[in-house]
Each structure stands twice: as structure tokens, then as C-alpha cells.
């Protein structure tokens, strides 16, 4: 089976993910998952969630490139990319990941600053007298 490609997005982060049959290695930006995320155990489990749900931890290799945003948004983008790549690899995985909400992109973005306000919603301090 050839490489399967998918992209994942979250806020301003984008992840390009390639899935190949293999031994279960996850590489992001040329580093292992532990090296890339350091001590963020919660984010590591989040990235591995689609693989655990489909029981593919030891049968596919993941190679990803993540850029833009912060490490949390990048981890979420990689998770979505892995999920989409798994569904493209085997359409049967859709029934497993769809009910878990793993195929849904998080639509939240940073709200723009409005004129007359200090931030997006924060108004200048009001003084009655």
C-alpha cells in the first residue's frame, strides 16, 4: 500500500500527514512524538487517540509536518490529519472515528479587534464622573 496523505487544521496551525504501513512510529517535524511534545502527556495521548480508537498503534507509521500556531493547536491539527488519513486508508474506520467526533474540525478562531475597543470585546474603562 502506498502513502496516504491528509491535512488537518486548527486555529492558524496546519498539519500535513502521511500514513504508511509500518511498525507504529510517529514522526512530527523530523522528531519523535516524545521529542516534539516534550512533557505534554495530555497532548501526546490526544495525538494518539485516532490510532488507539482504530487499534492501529503498531500497524501504521505516521510522518507529519506541522507549522503555524502553538504546540497545542499543532497537536490538534496533527490529530485531525491522522484521523483523515486513516479514513482515506480504510473507509471502514469512519464508523469508529465519526461518533467520537474526531473527524470534526474545531471551527473556533481568534476574534478580530473592533474599533473603539481595547481588544475584541474589552471596552475602555468607564468613568461616570
Q: Phi and psi (nearest 5°) for 121? A: -125, -15
Secondary structure class of 19 (helix, strand, coil) = strand
In a domain, 105, yes or no: no
Task: Give the span between the Cα atoms of 81 and 93, in whole angstroms.
Answer: 14
Please give the backbone phi and psi of residue 9, each rounded to the nearest 5 degrees, phi first.
Answer: -135, 150
Q: Which domain holds residue 56?
A: 4-97
Residue 122 lies in a domain: no
- Whether the predicted pLDDT of 39 surpasses 90: no
Could you report the per-residue pLDDT of 40-68, keeping only the tens digit for each? 999 999 999 999 999 999 999 999 999 99
Q: Is residue 63 in some structural domain?
A: yes
Q: Is the pLDDT of residue 4 over 70?
A: yes
**Is 102 contained in some domain?**
no
Number of domain units in the chain = 1
Amino acid at each position: 500500500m502506498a502513502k496516504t496523505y491528509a491535512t488537518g487544521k486548527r486555529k492558524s496551525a496546519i498539519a500535513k500527514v502521511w500514513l504508511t504501513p509500518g511498525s507504529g512510529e510517529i514522526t512530527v517535524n523530523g522528531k519523535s512524538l516524545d521529542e516534539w511534545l516534550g512533557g505534554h502527556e495530555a497532548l501526546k495521548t490526544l495525538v494518539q487517540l485516532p490510532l488507539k480508537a482504530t487499534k492501529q498503534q503498531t500497524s501504521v507509521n505516521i510522518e507529519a509536518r506541522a507549522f503555524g500556531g502553538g504546540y497545542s493547536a499543532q497537536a490538534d491539527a496533527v490529530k485531525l490529519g491522522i484521523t483523515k488519513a486513516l479514513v482515506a486508508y480504510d473507509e471502514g474506520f469512519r464508523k469508529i472515528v465519526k461518533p467520537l467526533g474526531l473527524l470534526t474540525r474545531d471551527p473556533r478562531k481568534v476574534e478580530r479587534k473592533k474599533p473603539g475597543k481595547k481588544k475584541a470585546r474589552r471596552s475602555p474603562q468607564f468613568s461616570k464622573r
